[in-house]
Amino acid sequence: MEQAWRYVSGTMMGMLAFLAPVKGLVICAVVFVMIDFMTGVIASRRRASRRGGVWGFESRKAWNTVMKLAFVMLGIVLAWMIDVQILSFMKLRLA
């Protein structure tokens, strides 16, 4: 178990170290997606109260936020990797 934990934590730290140059952009994207999630919950509550219904949190809809965050992160990482690894001679500064 100890060896598995070291492998997992080492892999995670390696991935985080690889993404260190785009840390600010990733943090900004996470903040904006979380703000989007919170405003969506607030809008859903208000919509339910205007209709006179009972509001309930649906985890199925919350997974849309997780997917959105994953795709945003994927876009940032891919743009950065294209900029640094593939088109490094052009110095495009995509991410």
How far apart are the C-alpha atoms of 72 and 87, rounded to whole Å? Answer: 21
- Encode pLDDT of 30-58 as tens digits: 999 999 999 999 998 999 889 888 888 88
pLDDT band with cut points at 50, 70 and 90 for residue 82: confident
pTM of the entire structure? 0.74
Close Cβ partners of 11 (under 8 Å, ≥ 6 residues apart): none
Tell me the average pLDDT across 23-28. Answer: 90
pLDDT at 59: 84
